[in-house]
């Protein structure tokens, strides 16, 4: 059994690449994962052939693929303070945001602006902070991921057995995931399901960019429905049937409803408008999870919409229903 190391690499260890890491250059991946190991030391190990992918020497520009096995030699890390590791008040802050916990997992109300793991110049993300707060003896691993600017329900496994079970449930679509998003445009008609395949490209430096590609992309399914209508924008819910990178944001744009505050896939003019209303982040929130438990019951966990997003909704002008819509609603109320 190969278990992802927490990279206390005083001896030889192995790292198996997951779908989220696939496509990155090995040098950038190791810089982000090895914390306080100097870059010069990582490149020295690569030059010497001490880092291997599937038994072969890795070059700095080698890109890893899902399920690749990376061999890491013994690495001596520089000492680092508890504050630098993300413990102390930051760990206490995250502990106070736990929405649900049992022996197998915990669900945390992730704040917007916090990366779920270190990388891209960030040494410690949410998972590293939580590990340091709880101590090395407890297994903690992300069961899925949320974008840095997305808030809400995040699942963290507390054992390898639980992690495998959660991954299986996610692959099979047995975990219900509902998000709330504010999007440009007036929603008309019934709910709709977007099933356009998505392809992820990785730019130099590790930045992921996703586009619709029906031929080379991976299957992706998002079900959208209207929650509230405003003038020229809509509050939507999105139920994920798959979990691709940036799936909701790309599918929403593909449907003609780019997400408010999205500086990668959004609409610049709309973003300026909601910025004037006080929106300082991506308006995307992981609101609800439904997870089957081994007992046969299900854990249903909800995260309230953050105050900064509620404030934006209050500042928007509600849509005035048309005469036809008013007539239809009145007809539905008749006995």
pLDDT tens column, 188-204 = 989 999 999 999 987 77
Are 18 and 137 part of one and the same domain?
A: no
Are 126 and 188 part of one and the same domain?
A: no
Residues with Cβ within 8 Å of 251's Cβ and at least 6 positions away in sequence, in order, are 194, 196, 198, 220, 222, 224, 238
Are 61 and 100 part of one and the same domain?
A: no
Please indicate whether residue 137 or residue 215 has the higher confidence score (pLDDT). Answer: 215
Percent of the chain scored above 70 by pLDDT? 84
Q: How confident is the model at residue 2 (pLDDT cuts 50, 70, 90)?
A: very low
Overall number of domains in the chain: 3
Q: Say what the pLDDT of residue 70 is.
A: 93
Are 151 and 95 part of one and the same domain?
A: yes
Q: How confident is the model at residue 3 (pLDDT cuts 50, 70, 90)?
A: very low
Which of 46, 72, 98 is the C-terminal boundary of a domain? 72
Mean of the per-residue pLDDT values of the chain: 86
pLDDT at 175 over 70: yes
Q: Note the residue count of the chain.
A: 335
Output DSSP code: residue 63: B
Are 193 and 150 part of one and the same domain?
A: no
Dist. CA 256–CA 219, nearest whole Å: 20
Task: List Cα–Cα distances, 43 to 48, 117, 271, 273, in angstroms.
Answer: 9, 22, 41, 45
Enzyme catalytic residues: 147
| Bridge-based pairing state of the strands 151-157 and 284-292 | parallel
225 membership: H or E segment, kind and range? strand 222-230
* Dihedral sign from CA coordinates of 142, 151, 209, 85: negative
Task: List Cα–Cα distances, 273 to 233, 235, 269, 270, 334, in angstroms.
Answer: 11, 15, 6, 5, 40
Are 143 and 276 part of one and the same domain?
A: no
Q: How confident is the model at residue 1 (pLDDT cuts 50, 70, 90)?
A: very low
pLDDT at 83 over 50: no
Q: Which domain holds residue 241?
A: 177-288+303-319
267 occurs within a structural domain: yes
**Backbone phi, psi, residue 326, to 5°:** -60, -40
Q: How confident is the model at residue 136 (pLDDT cuts 50, 70, 90)?
A: low
Task: List Cα–Cα distances, 65 to 54, 62, 248, in angstroms.
Answer: 10, 10, 24
Are 155 and 184 part of one and the same domain?
A: no
Residues with Cβ within 8 Å of 89's Cβ and at least 6 positions away in sequence, in order, are none
Q: Say what the pLDDT of residue 335 is.
A: 47
Residue 160 sits in a domain of what CATH number?
A: 3.30.2350.10
6 occurs within a structural domain: no
- Residues 246-301 pLDDT 10s: 999 999 999 999 999 999 999 999 999 999 999 999 999 999 999 999 888 999 99
CB burial readout 139-165, b (16+ within 10 A) else e: bbbbbbbbbbbbbbbbbbbbeeebbeb
Are 202 and 312 part of one and the same domain?
A: yes
314 membership: H or E segment, kind and range? helix 307-315
Are 158 and 191 part of one and the same domain?
A: no
Are 125 and 222 part of one and the same domain?
A: no
Give me the helices (H) in 34-174, please.
39-48, 89-95, 126-134, 160-171
């Amino acid at each position: 059994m190969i278990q992802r190391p927490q990279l206390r690499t005083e001896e030889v260890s192995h790292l198996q690449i997951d779908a989220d890491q696939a496509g990155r250059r090995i040098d950038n991946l190791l810089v982000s994962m090895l914390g306080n190991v100097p870059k010069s030391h990582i490149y020295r190990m690569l030059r010497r052939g001490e880092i291997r992918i599937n038994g072969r020497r890795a070059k700095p520009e080698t890109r890893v693929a899902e399920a690749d096995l990376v061999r890491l030699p013994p690495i001596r890390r520089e000492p680092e303070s508890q504050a630098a590791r993300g413990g102390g008040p930051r760990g206490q802050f995250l502990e106070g945001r736990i929405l649900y916990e049992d022996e197998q997992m915990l669900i945390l109300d992730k704040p917007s602006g916090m990366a779920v793991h270190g990388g891209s110049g960030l040494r410690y993300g949410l998972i590293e902070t939580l590990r340091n707060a709880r101590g090395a003896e407890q297994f903690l691993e992300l069961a899925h991921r949320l974008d840095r600017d997305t808030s809400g329900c995040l699942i963290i496994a507390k054992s390898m057995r639980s992690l495998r079970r959660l991954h299986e449930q996610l692959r099979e679509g047995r975990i219900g995931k509902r998000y709330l998003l504010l999007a440009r445009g007036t929603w008309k008609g019934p709910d709709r399901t977007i099933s356009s395949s998505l392809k992820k490209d990785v730019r130099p430096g590790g930045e992921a960019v996703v586009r619709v590609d029906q031929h080379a992309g991976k299957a992706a399914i998002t079900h959208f429905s209207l929650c509230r209508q405003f003038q020229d924008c809509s509050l939507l819910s999105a139920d994920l049937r798959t979990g691709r990178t940036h799936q909701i944001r790309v599918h929403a744009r593909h449907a003609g409803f780019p997400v408010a505050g999205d500086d990668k896939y959004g609409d610049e003019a709309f973003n300026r408008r909601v910025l004037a209303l006080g929106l300082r982040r991506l308006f995307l929130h992981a609101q609800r999870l439904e997870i089957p438990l081994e007992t046969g019951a299900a854990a249903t966990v909800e995260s309230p919409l953050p105050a900064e997003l509620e404030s934006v909704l209050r500042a928007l002008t509600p849509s005035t229903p048309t005469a036809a819509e008013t007539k239809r609603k009145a007809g539905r109320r008749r006995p």
